[in-house]
Every structure is written in structure tokens, then in C-alpha cells.
Amino acid sequence: SVIVENISVIGTGYLGATHAACMAELGFNVVGVDIDPGKIASLSAGDLPFHEPGLPELIRKHVTTGRLRFTTDLDEVGAWADVHFIAVGTPQVRGGTGADMTYVDTATASLARAITKDSLIVGKSTVPVGTAARLADLVAEQKNPDVDVSLAWNPEFLREGFAVKDTLTPDRLVVGTTSQADEAVLRRVYAEALNRNTPWIATDFQTAELVKVAANAFLATKISFINAFAEVTETVGGNITTLADAIGHDTRIGRKFLNAGVGFGGGCLPKDIRALQTRVAELGLDHSMRFLDEVDQINLRRRKKAVALAFDLLSQDVIGKKIAVLGITFKPLSDDVRDSPGLDVAARLFNAGADVHVYDPQGSRNAAKRYPRITYTDTLDDAVTEAELVILTTEWEEFRALTPEDLNHQVTTRRIIDARNVLHPPHWEAHDWTFTQLGRKVQRD
Ligand code: UDX
């Protein structure tokens, strides 16, 4: 019978570090593996190179209990673990739209060669359909002939900001396997979730790979759908939030992911819809996912619209004018600025000559690596003082709670663009603010 005691997680980025800590929380002995010794040293000390609520505490807890450790030594891990999770990145290829498979391929091949014990390799990374079958062949070719090593696919659906919760109490578990024995191993890994009746979807490789990209493509489509209607209400009038509420009451539609605004960003949705289109085009099916091109275009138009509104409000001249950008991460509770709509808006205004001051509770450090010449302030106050325009680009709780009274006497001119539709217009208008939202028809006096 299959014993699962020791688990390795290859790749200790966002996904891997979270998965490793959560597996330790479930009671397994876990090792996180990475080729970057610096990362291993800081994780061992409980320091994370990114912001994720609750995760540093969980890592420190299990480094202390002894159930969690980190190493760069793949050979040691190959002799030790019963189950190996592959959690390395699949970024967008430089200068292209497909997924860069170098890390997954290299990690899988090196692992297969290092394994000296019967074990299961489980892919978690988001990959083009067909990858698992290809990797299964690679493992068979690279592994030691004396050991039994097979491959399974188990996509991950965690959201940044809720990574620990999503991993410990997932909405569903999807496992693609080629044998019942491999599925049985994964049932042991996830026994706790199964005890809570978490839906368990046991399927083939292709379905498991596609579930992940289909889910992200659907979410992206839902956001662009409402944002396309925002383009209409911007022209004819109407209230995009009321529209979303009203259609969202239909349980077949649902209210979630219908918040119109500056659009989606981050390390997943944008790259995943592009990689999916690229993959189906390779398969000769480019027409099947062509609508995702529109989804992408609608999304990118929102950023341009936010910039155009800023130009309008500043009489088409932004040069030297102080603009406060509130929120630079792609969403709240994260310090991730990958493909961030707010950062894009800030950078466009900065490049147009505006004096951009960014305030973000977590994201400034990462943003400054990309755009070092933009000004990042330590307080909201510093960003808005003497600003001629305020733009709210990420709906952090402290920005949602903003009132005109907070800003009335700081700014030079009372102009605000709420690019996330989280503020209450009448309240601002009562204080003589020129108040604009994406999805709202501009009021002309
Ligand atoms: C996403 C998926 O939700 C997750 O299941 C998958 O594993 C990884 O990709 P994440 O990137 O963490 O997770 O962010 P998510 O919360 O999905 O938000 C994505 C983007 O959409 C953010 O920029 C957010 O601001 C935007 N968004 C979300 C909207 O613009 N409107 C909405 O209604 C919802």
C-alpha cells in the first residue's frame, strides 16, 4: 500500500511556498526545494520575498515544529520524499504570448534523475494542455529503471491574498492521473479536505490541465464582460454597479467578478488567457479561443481610458502636474505589481510628464524596481498633498474608506477618478469634487 509521509515541493515561489507550508500544517513532513540558495536561506528564517497574509506565521510555525524545512539539495530530496509537487513558474515567454516551459521541464527532468525511491510526481504549475503527457514520457525516460515513478496533474486555484485559506480549504480538488493507485496517493495527501466533503474531481491529464485555464479564462471573460458594458454606460449614462448587482442576482450569473473598473492584472489571468490562445492556435484551433483576444483588448482599453480621463480632467495638459495614484498592486492584500493596471496607469502618466506620486500599503518596493523614477510616498498624506488629481487604482480597504473630508484640505484641486468604483459619488460631489468613475458618464457643467 502507498504510504505518504514525506512531501517535497519543488519551486518555492508564491505557489510552492504556500503549498509547502500548508502540507506541513496538514501534518506531513515537508521540504521546499529551490535552486536559489538566497531564497532557501530566507525562507528557512521565515522571511518571505513577497507579501501574503498569514503565510510567514505558518512557515515559522512549522520550521519550529520541525515539519518544514528548505533545501537546494535535490538528490537528498529524491531519496526522501514519497510525493513531489512541481510548483515552478510558467511565465509568458519574452517577446511572445505562449508559456515558457523551461522551468517545468528542467525541474521535472532533474527530479526524475534524483529520485531513488518509489514515488509520485504531481504537477501543480499552470501549463499548456498536453504538458502532463509529455512530462510523463520525460520522467519515464529520465528516471532510474529500478524505481517506480509516475506523474499526476493537480492544478492549483489559489488567489493571492487568500493563498493559505484557498490551499487549506479549497472549493474543489482536481486530479488528473493515469491509474487508480496514483489517485489513491493523492486521496491520502488531501484526506483532510475529503473528510470535509470537498468536491473531488478525478480525471485525465487533459481535463485537469484545461480546468485550470478554463477557470481563469472564464473569470477574465466575466470581468471584461462587465467592463464592455462600462464602455456603454460611459457613453449613454446609467450605473454600471447597479447593472452588475441586477444581473448578479440571477444565480445562473452570480455577482462575483462583475466589478467594473480598471480591469484585471496579476501574474495569472493576463498571461493565462494569452497562453491558452497560443496553445490552441498551435493545435490548429485558433478560432476556438479568439474571443479571448477581445477579452484582453477590452481589459487593456480600461487602462487607457483611465489615463484619458486624467487628461480630460487636467485640460489635456499633465506636464508637471501633481497626480496622486492610490494603489499600485494588481489587487489589494498583495504586493504583486505584475501586469498591474494601476502601475500601467501611473507609468503612462509619468511618461507623459506628470508629477506622479504613488501611495500603496504594500506594493511600492516592487513598483520602484520597475519604475524607479516615479515618486513613491510612505503615507497617503504625502501623496495627496497639493495634488491636482487623485486616482484610486487599487481598492485597498483604507482607500475604500476615504471620505472627501480626509482630502478636502490636502489637495490643490478637488478632482478624483475612482477607477475601481468603490466610492460613493454624491458624497464627493456634495463637497465640490469633480468626481469620475470608470463606467460613469462624465458630467459636464
Ligand atoms: C486568479 C484566480 O482567481 C485564481 O483562482 C488563480 O489560481 C490565479 O489567478 P489572482 O491573480 O490572485 O487569482 O487574482 P483575482 O482575485 O482573481 O483577481 C484578478 C484580477 O481581476 C485583479 O486585478 C482584480 O483587481 C481584477 N478583478 C477581479 C476585477 O477587475 N473585477 C472583479 O470583479 C474581480
Distance 264 CA to ligand 1 centre (A): 6
Instruction: Tell the residue nearest (CA) to atom 6 of ligand 1.
Output: 157
Q: Does the structure show a pLDDT above 70 at 114?
A: yes
Residue 298 main-chain phi, psi, to 5 deg? -55, -45
pLDDT at 127 over 90: yes
User: Which ligand 1 atom minimizes the distance to the CA of 157?
Assistant: 7
Tell me the ipTM for this assembly.
0.96
In this structure, how many other beta carbons lie within 10 angstroms of the beta carbon of residue 250? Answer: 9
pTM metric for this prediction: 0.96
Between residues 1 and 389, which one has the greater pLDDT?
389
Tens digits of residue pLDDT in 406-441: 999 999 999 999 999 999 999 999 999 999 999 999
Locate the ligand 1 atom nearest the alpha carbon of residue 420 and give its number. Answer: 30
| d(C-alpha 69, C-alpha 62), whole Å | 8
pLDDT tens digit sequence for 55-74? 999 999 999 999 999 999 99
Question: Is the per-residue pLDDT at 110 higher than 60?
Answer: yes
Angle at alpha carbon of residue 395, lines to 393 and 396, rounded to 5°: 120
Coil, helix or strand for 252? coil
pLDDT at res. 442: 83
Domains in the chain, ordered, with CATH?
Answer: 6-202 (3.40.50.720), 204-445 (3.40.50.720)
Q: 3-state class of 171 per DSSP?
A: coil
Q: Whose CA is nearest to atom 34 of ligand 1?
A: 257
The three grid cell numbers given for residue 350, joined into one nine-digit string: 509619468
Q: Is 326 annotated as a binding residue?
A: no
The DSSP-derived string for 330-369 is SSTT----TT-HHHHHHHHHHHTT-EEEEE-SS-HHHHHH
What value does the mean pLDDT take over residues 353-365?
98
pLDDT above 60: residue 445 = no
Mean pLDDT, rounded, of the chain = 97
Alpha carbon of 149 to those of 181, 283, 426: distances in Å? 12, 29, 63
| pLDDT the model gives residue 195 | 97
Give the mean pLDDT of 175-189: 98
Would the pLDDT of 142 be above 60? yes
Evaluate whether 147 touches 116 at the Cβ level (below 8 Å).
yes
Residue nearest to atom 10 of ligand 1 (CA): 159
Q: Is 90 annotated as a binding residue?
A: yes
* Position in ligand 1 atom list of the atom nearest CA 261: 30
Distance from Cα 269 to the centre of ligand 1, integer Å: 7
Which residue lies with its CA nearest to atom 7 of ligand 1? Answer: 157
The ligand 1 site (C-beta within 6 Å) comprises: 157-160, 216, 219, 223, 257-259, 261, 263-266, 268-269, 330-331
Would you name the residues annotated as active-site residues?
Answer: 268
